[in-house]
């Protein structure tokens, strides 16, 4: 299973998150889910998250997708179709999987 690196640029330096995903499309879906959760947390903390960015790189380090948080807000506002409800439990599970992988990656890197 391919490994992807997720970088969430939210104004404060954060370590990259490494996770195994089936393919690029799954990695983008997971990043969007985590980005939505981060946006909610940022808004709850009184921060404007529209300038934040998520970058997804493949195992070789090549950038495969960039998600501008502003773009996600703009797409939601322009949509004329009824919005599907976001399954927050699913998003929480995605973040937990990414966090678990991050912990494993950090322990592997520390041992290297």
Per-residue pLDDT of 20-73, as tens digits, reads: 999 999 999 999 998 888 888 888 999 888 889 999 999 999 999 999 988 877
| Residue 13 DSSP code | -
Integer Cα distance of 83 and 70 in angstroms = 18
The pTM for the full model equals 0.63
Lowest mean pLDDT among 42-51, 70-79, 89-98, 102-111: 102-111
Is residue 36 within 8 Å of residue 86, measured between CB atoms? yes
């Amino acid at each position: 299973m391919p490994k992807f690196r997720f970088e969430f640029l939210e104004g404060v330096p954060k370590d990259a998150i490494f996770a195994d995903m089936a393919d690029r499309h799954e990695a983008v879906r997971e990043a969007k889910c985590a980005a939505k959760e981060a946006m909610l947390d940022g808004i709850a903390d009184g921060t404007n998250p529209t300038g934040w960015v998520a970058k997804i790189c493949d195992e070789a380090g090549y950038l495969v997708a960039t998600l501008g948080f502003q773009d996600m807000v703009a797409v939601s506002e322009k949509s004329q179709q009824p919005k599907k409800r976001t399954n927050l439990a699913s998003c929480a599970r995605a973040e937990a999987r990414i966090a678990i992988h991050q912990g494993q990656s950090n322990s592997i890197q520390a041992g290297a």
